[in-house]
Structure 1
């Protein structure tokens, strides 16, 4: 029995355990110990969900694989946002804005900077397909500006918000832009997003293992859906305690959005860093920028639809400070990817901007 238990992989054991935690804590007031258990189960479910998404992604290949990972992470993000918003009651809510903005800052500065730094330290100079990366950056810049900057300057509703019609239009525009990007990524211009061939400009050390079997892929797909359900349910259970902890600590409410983005992007960050160390920076950028695009391109339409029954007013417009950070990030990212190659200098610049974002989130 002990030998059998030891032979069962962690990614098969964690989903049913976290499901049991969800059943045991659903609609119950959580004490300190129960909250710690729920938090641990939530983190474990997120990590396991992305692991199973990676298995499915490995089976279907690039660039479909990174698309699956991005969609899975976005489902988790949207679930967390909606659960936390509904637990907060009526009134204005900036949680969606804070989470989406944090995801962009984390991806474009934290993840990309870390990948560039580690890749350049190991290989001297990293190279990638400029056609695909610049297309992703252009789409991300447009979607981010429409969803996070424009609401600050519209006049049909008070404050940095959209009216119902404006929100619906923005949701449709975001979906069209994201859908167009996915179309060129997986169809007409798929070659722009494929890793560079070994022996051309970038060498790969071949750390990829054999692809998963059909049975293993089917199991991972089922467990992926289970983990996504568990993540949303556990977030609903832990939402009141999270809000209370932020208020008790005297931290800005935007910290909740930063925490959500860090949580859901952590596994993809690990995958992107591994690819960078293998000198596959194209895969790293596919993961990073694909996640940021899915985060805003899918989150905004879903929230626009959910606003029909949500009792919260969505505050989407950024503050002047955050608009400056967003504009600086877009400019620096564009200059980084335009040549099709980068060194550790670009990585250091992006990581510095990421540090500025984290500091100003805590000390606005």
Structure 2
């Protein structure tokens, strides 16, 4: 066994996740000087690439749509832990942290990752093809979760400001879990074929013929290393967040930019994995990753912060402002028009990317 592991232990995909966790242990909770921040950033980038590699190994072993689900859920669970940790440490100034992070994740996934995947897939293969039944179901779930959790608090009257009352928050949390559970059951059990890649003729691709699937032992090892890499990514992102905050304040930017930058770092593994899938003409896998991440971000974050609010003394602001509600509504409408035909050209990818650019612009200049 040791002899078999020795060659693997010299590979960068094994070394970097372990190094990231070791570095996280030594830097956690400490103020980092500039040189250490540079080292942490380099290891963070390596951990992102390692996470993508191991996620693809697991995905190849278990097949779609389980592979994209593994990466989406793993990233989101650790992201939720990061949000709750920052809320506990941040006091009143973290009142909007959950809202800003979840909305950033929705815009990054539904416009950034989707737009980039459609653009890459359509430029390389003329058109990007996917299954509108599965993608439409995912989009409907994301739109419902986002509206219930991020839009309704702006209009409720039980509490002043864009906040839920305790009962309303519990309802939103339970509804989020139920919807997410229903979607996962639909995706992996009852209608799994709706979420599998399809050919240009609309035939479902049930297996990949270009390479043999990795062994069970290799897949389990990659699963463990994926977890280590993601812990390193999120933990190191938290470590460099004070430097990001200082840079944002020095540049005179809005505080919400910090959440956007951290969300971009955390979602980088899924972005790279989605673009790679699109290059292989597996746009359905890319959309599974994007919409699944958006759904998991809402469906797991809202219940987590609802539970955390029991012992958190500060307010929990979930309601979006008018500008962000317009962006969310436009995103849902454009996504619907993109999904219905089941194929997309570079135009659709460009439209989503422009929406994402508009979100970034308004985050910098609200």
TM-score (norm 2): 0.90
Q: Go from structure 1 to structure 2 and tell me whether the alpha carbon gap of 1:229 and 1:115 turns closer, same or farther (over 3 Å shift).
A: closer
**Which residue does the alignment assign to 2:134?**
132
Q: 111, 114, 117: which one pairs with 2:116?
A: 114
**Which residue does the alignment assign to 1:63?**
65
**Which residue does the alignment assign to 2:321?**
319
The question of 1:286 aligning with 2:288 is answered yes
**Which residue does the alignment assign to 2:145?**
143
Tell me the matched-pair count: 361
**Which residue does the alignment assign to 2:3?**
none
Q: Which moved more, 1:46-55 or 1:216-225?
A: 46-55
Mapping of residues 292-311 of structure 1, within 5 Å: 292-311=294-313
Mapping of residues 12-161 of structure 1, within 5 Å: 12-91=14-93, 93-161=95-163
Root-mean-square deviation (Å)? 2.5
Q: Go from structure 1 to structure 2 and tell me whether the alpha carbon gap of 1:6 and 1:54 turns closer, same or farther (over 3 Å shift).
A: closer
* Aligned counterparts of 2:74 and 2:166: Cα–Cα separation in 1: 27
Answer yes or no: is the 8 Å Cα contact 1:185–1:193 preserved in 2. Answer: yes
**Which residue does the alignment assign to 2:236?**
234
* Aligned counterparts of 2:179 and 2:203: Cα–Cα separation in 1: 31
**Which residue does the alignment assign to 2:12?**
10
1:278-337 alpha-carbon deviations (Å, 9 max, x no partner): 222111111111111111111111221122233432211111000000000000000110
Q: 333, 336, 358: which one pairs with 2:360?
A: 358
* Aligned counterparts of 1:40 and 1:23: Cα–Cα separation in 2: 16
**Which residue does the alignment assign to 1:246?**
248
Q: Go from structure 1 to structure 2 and tell me whether the alpha carbon gap of 1:216 and 1:84 turns closer, same or farther (over 3 Å shift).
A: same
* Aligned counterparts of 1:232 and 1:277: Cα–Cα separation in 2: 27
Distance apart, 1:357 and its partner CA? 1.1
1:156-198 alpha-carbon deviations (Å, 9 max, x no partner): 1111111222211101101111111111101111111111157
* Aligned counterparts of 1:310 and 1:192: Cα–Cα separation in 2: 41
1:263-292 alpha-carbon deviations (Å, 9 max, x no partner): 122121121112222222111111111111
Answer yes or no: is the 8 Å Cα contact 1:74–1:295 preserved in 2. Answer: yes
The 3-state SS of whatever aligns with 2:15 is: helix
* Aligned counterparts of 1:129 and 1:159: Cα–Cα separation in 2: 41
Answer yes or no: is the 8 Å Cα contact 1:95–1:257 preserved in 2. Answer: yes
Q: Go from structure 1 to structure 2 and tell me whether the alpha carbon gap of 1:203 and 1:185 turns closer, same or farther (over 3 Å shift).
A: closer
* Aligned counterparts of 1:18 and 1:229: Cα–Cα separation in 2: 8
Answer yes or no: is the 8 Å Cα contact 2:16–2:50 preserved in 1. Answer: yes
Mapping of residues 154-169 of structure 1, within 5 Å: 154-169=156-171
Distance apart, 1:200 and its partner CA? 4.7
Answer yes or no: is the 8 Å Cα contact 1:87–1:239 preserved in 2. Answer: no
TM-score (norm 1): 0.91
Structure 1: runs of 5+ lacking an equivalent: none
Q: 224, 227, 239: which one pairs with 1:225?
A: 227
**Which residue does the alignment assign to 1:261?**
263
* Aligned counterparts of 1:195 and 1:173: Cα–Cα separation in 2: 29
The 3-state SS of whatever aligns with 1:227 is: helix
Q: Go from structure 1 to structure 2 and tell me whether the alpha carbon gap of 1:19 and 1:124 turns closer, same or farther (over 3 Å shift).
A: closer
* Aligned counterparts of 1:40 and 1:76: Cα–Cα separation in 2: 20
Q: Go from structure 1 to structure 2 and tell me whether the alpha carbon gap of 1:296 and 1:195 turns closer, same or farther (over 3 Å shift).
A: same
Answer yes or no: is the 8 Å Cα contact 1:96–1:257 preserved in 2. Answer: no
Answer yes or no: is the 8 Å Cα contact 2:86–2:94 preserved in 1. Answer: no
Answer yes or no: is the 8 Å Cα contact 2:129–2:199 preserved in 1. Answer: no
**Which residue does the alignment assign to 1:177?**
179
